[in-house]
Every structure is written in C-alpha cells, then in structure tokens.
C-alpha cells in the first residue's frame, strides 16, 4: 500500500477532507484516531493528516507540497514528525517513553510537533498506560495521530481521549471498480465475464494488500488468519502488486 498516493485511493478522500477542514478552521483536536485498516490505506491517510498539521502554507484541500515543511516530509526527514511502529508484534513501553520525551522538546521548525503511531492496537499494557498521560496533557502544539486496524483491541481509555475521524469503507462494487481501473482484475473467462474477487472481503477486511513483499510464512500475519495454509490460500500477482484471496469453509 505504501507505493500508492492518497489521490489514488478515492475512498480516503472524504475522511482526509474532513480532517483538513477542521484544521484549516483552527479547530484541530490534540489527538485523532484513524480507524482505517492499513490494507485500505490507513497509514497513507494518517501520514496525509500529519502533513496537514505540519504544512506551513496549508490550503483548503490539504498540504501545499512546496513549503519547507512539506519538502522535509517528502524527504522523510521532518524533525518534528515522530513516527512509532510496532517493534515485532508489539509497541513497547520504551518506544512510547522515548516518544513522550521527544514531544516535550521545542519544535525545530517552529510549528507543531506531531506523533504518528501506526497499528496502535499493538500497544502492550505498559505502553498504553505510558501514552495515556500524553493523551491527557499533550502540551502546546502537540498533535497525536493514532492509526488502528482493529478498534476492538484498543483500551477504552485511549479511544475516549481521541477524536475519531469518520470514515466509510468502500463497498464491494467500489473495490471491484477500482481494481478494474488499476488493471488488477484477473482476465475475463471465455464468456467474457470477470471473476468477482470481492467475495472474501468479510474474511480479510480488504481484498487487496498493496505493495507488500510477503511469502506464505508471512501471509497469515498480514491478513490475520490461521497459520496453516495448504489449499485454503491463493495468491495472485498483478503488476507487481498482490491480491490475496483467502478461501475458508465459511465463505
């Protein structure tokens, strides 16, 4: 998914614009929760929201892309953007303590300091508790953006301290249409009918896992399914992207 840009994923547009609208009016919250699976572009949306906060010449439709802050973000070298990702299967307490310490320092670009935590449901208990104080008292010009794949695994104390960004997931028709536009659908059969690859959405949460290098040993982790593969799984590759079809007896 990281190979795609926000504009290429139309189902993210409304959520992104809502975030921009609020920030442009100066009513931005200090903590945002993005309930968008990474398979649908959750990290891309979260990063775009961070760019909105840090942009020095924000436009009504988002970051300008040309100011010094935007150029630093484009080069992945903005000193006031602090990204935390899972270390293995967990986000650990030392990661959060280091983050909280970084957020107490003066912004090097003179604007906001932004913490972007991806897969926030992987916070272990100690890490979650360490984060709570910063969520409650973040300090001036500190914005936390939390992205989650599974809201049900978050502590209620974290969810309640964040403003949730409204998001409507694409339906099967929208995904089928998008796959066709990207030329990612399997070839039509002899009758000219394309195979419907959206039937397993309810199993994996999203039909497409984009831009990820994986093998059969890592596939279960990506789609959160049991580890035994065998004939249950089919991996189709199109244009160096991956469509993962998960066959189970419940589908």
What is the reported pLDDT for 87? 94
Q: How confident is the model at residue 179 (pLDDT cuts 50, 70, 90)?
A: confident
Q: What is the largest distance, in Å, between two alpha-carbon atoms of the chain?
A: 64
pLDDT at 21 over 80: yes
**56 vs 206, higher pLDDT:** 56
pLDDT, one tens digit per residue, over 37-47 is 888 889 999 99
pLDDT at 231 over 50: no
Rounded to whole angstroms, how far apart are CA atoms 160 and 166? 15
Can you give the residue ranges of every domain in the chain? 6-165, 172-246
Full strand arrangement of the beta sheet holding 142-147 = 81-84, 113-117, 142-147, 31-34, 163-165
Name the pairing type of β-strands 241-246 and 208-209.
Answer: antiparallel
What is the reported pLDDT for 73? 95
What is the reported pLDDT for 195? 65
For residue 83, what are the CA distances in angstroms to 134, 209, 234? 15, 22, 33
**215 vs 51, higher pLDDT:** 51
Please name the residues in contact with 52: beta carbons below 8 A apart, sequence gap of 6 or more. Answer: 19, 20, 23, 58, 62, 63
What is the reported pLDDT for 178? 83
pLDDT at 244 over 60: no
What is the reported pLDDT for 176? 80
3-class SS at 32? strand
Q: How confident is the model at residue 172 (pLDDT cuts 50, 70, 90)?
A: confident
Q: How confident is the model at residue 197 (pLDDT cuts 50, 70, 90)?
A: low
Percent of the chain with pLDDT over 90: 53
Please choose, from the candidates 57, 70, 75, 53, the residue with its C-alpha nearest in 3D space to the C-alpha of residue 165: 53
Q: How is residue 162 written in tokens?
A: 């964040």
Reported pTM = 0.79
Q: How confident is the model at residue 147 (pLDDT cuts 50, 70, 90)?
A: very high
pLDDT, one tens digit per residue, over 133-146 is 899 988 889 999 99
Q: How is residue 190 written in tokens?
A: 């002899």
pLDDT at 85 over 60: yes
pLDDT at 208 over 90: no
Mean per-residue pLDDT over the chain, rounded: 80
What is the reported pLDDT for 199? 54
Asked if 41 and 155 count as a contact pair (C-beta separation under 8 A), the reply is: no
What is the reported pLDDT for 198? 63
DSSP codes joined into one string, 74-93: HTT--TTEEEE--BTTBB-H
Pick the CATH number of 6-165 from 3.30.390.50, 1.10.260.40, 3.40.50.300, 3.40.50.2300: 3.40.50.300
For residue 50, what are the CA distances in angstroms to 177, 194, 243? 29, 39, 29
pLDDT, one tens digit per residue, over 22-31 is 999 888 789 9
């Amino acid at each position: 998914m990281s190979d795609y840009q926000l504009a290429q994923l139309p189902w993210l547009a409304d959520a992104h614009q809502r975030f921009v609208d609020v920030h442009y009016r100066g009513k931005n919250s200090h903590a945002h929760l993005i309930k968008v699976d990474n398979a649908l572009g959750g990290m891309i949306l979260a990063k775009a929201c961070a760019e909105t906060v840090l942009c020095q010449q924000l436009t009504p439709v988002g970051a300008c892309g040309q100011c010094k802050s935007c150029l630093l973000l484009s080069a992945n070298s903005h000193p006031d953007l602090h990204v935390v990702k899972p270390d293995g299967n967990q986000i650990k307490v030392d990661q959060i303590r280091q983050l909280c310490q970084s957020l107490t320092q003066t912004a090097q670009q003179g604007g906001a300091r932004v913490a972007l935590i991806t897969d926030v449901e992987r916070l272990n208990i100690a890490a979650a508790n360490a984060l709570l104080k910063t969520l409650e008292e973040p300090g001036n010009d500190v914005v936390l953006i939390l992205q989650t794949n599974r809201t049900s695994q978050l502590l209620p104390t974290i969810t309640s301290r964040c403003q949730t960004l409204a998001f409507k997931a694409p339906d099967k028709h929208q995904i089928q249409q998008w796959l066709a536009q990207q030329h990612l659908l399997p070839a039509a059969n002899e009758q000219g009918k394309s195979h419907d690859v959206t039937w397993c959405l309810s199993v994996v949460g999203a039909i497409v896992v984009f831009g990820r290098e994986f093998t059969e040993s890592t596939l279960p982790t990506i789609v959160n399914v049991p580890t035994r593969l065998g004939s249950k799984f089919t991996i189709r590759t199109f244009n160096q992207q991956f469509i993962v079809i998960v066959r189970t007896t419940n589908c």
